[in-house]
């Protein structure tokens, strides 16, 4: 299992076919391990102890899967690596679209619930959804500012890459774009 997880880490975002193959192999391995737990019970090992070991094993791997999906949704320079200048030029961030999709898939498979419990899964999925909705609102606002800017003559600056640092939201007032 460690070898499969290592290969999955190495293939993150590189080869979706290879990733799917490794995930299938991981599922096969987990099924074989379930047979071992069943056989242990049949040989007289305390069923409660076997069930606890199985739960701990499944939770650990579900947490690993969640960690992998969060990392696949993250880009940019890690703040604790290199110098502050390189991190400032390319700050680390989580893409809300990718994160929501990946967390939602984990929820659908039940892995998210195994990792953080039912309530934790619901909270994380709701948080990811709220951030995705807000991200889409910000993108719409940026596009609106660009459109208005073109109409009032600052569109060329925006088109040339000038950074929009604030957006006006009628309900919340002036908001930063990042």
Residue percentage of the chain with pLDDT more than 90 = 29
Strands 93-94 and 166-169: unpaired
- Among the residue ranges 17-21, 41-45, 139-143, 166-170, the one predicted with the least confidence is 166-170
C-alpha torsion 132→137→138→139, nearest 10: 90
- For the cut 90, the answer to whether the pLDDT of residue 4 exceeds it is no
- For the cut 80, the answer to whether the pLDDT of residue 84 exceeds it is no
Residue percentage of the chain with pLDDT more than 70 = 74
User: Residue 79 phi/psi, 5° resolution?
Assistant: -70, -25
Q: Which two tokens stand for residue 67?
A: 């960690």
**Single pTM value for the model:** 0.64
Mean pLDDT (whole number) for 153-165: 55
- pLDDT of res. 178: 47
**∠ CA 65-71-73, rounded to 5°:** 110
Spatial CB neighbours of 106, under 8 Å, sequence gap ≥ 6? 62, 65, 66, 69, 112, 115
- For the cut 90, the answer to whether the pLDDT of residue 120 exceeds it is yes
Tokens 């071992």 belong to which residue?
Answer: 36
Q: Are 167 and 142 in contact (CB under 8 A)?
A: yes
**Residue 167 Cα to chain centre, angstroms:** 27
**Distance between CA atoms of residues 99 and 88, nearest Å:** 22
Q: What is the overall mean pLDDT for the chain? A: 80
Strand partners, 174: 168
Structure-model confidence comparison of residues 79 and 120, the more confident one: 120
pLDDT in tens, 102-118: 999 999 989 899 999 99
Spatial CB neighbours of 77, under 8 Å, sequence gap ≥ 6? 86, 87, 89, 90, 91, 92
């Amino acid at each position: 299992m460690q070898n499969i997880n290592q290969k999955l880490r190495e293939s993150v975002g590189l080869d979706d076919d290879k990733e799917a193959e490794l995930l299938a192999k991981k599922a096969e391995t987990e099924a074989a391990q379930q047979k071992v737990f069943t056989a242990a019970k049949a040989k007289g090992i305390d069923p409660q102890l076997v069930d606890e070991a199985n739960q701990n094993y499944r939770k650990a791997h579900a947490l690993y899967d969640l960690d992998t999906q969060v990392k696949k949704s993250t880009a940019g320079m890690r703040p604790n690596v290199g110098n502050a200048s390189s991190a400032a030029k390319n700050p680390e961030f989580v893409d809300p679209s990718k994160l929501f999709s990946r967390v939602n898939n984990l929820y659908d498979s039940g892995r998210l619930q195994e990792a953080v419990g039912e309530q934790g899964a619901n909270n994380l999925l709701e948080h990811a959804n709220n951030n995705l909705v807000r991200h889409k609102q910000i993108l719409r606002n940026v596009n609106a500012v660009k459109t208005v800017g073109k109409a009032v003559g600052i569109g060329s600056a925006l088109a040339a890459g000038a950074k929009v640092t604030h957006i006006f939201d009628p309900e919340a007032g002036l908001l930063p774009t990042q």
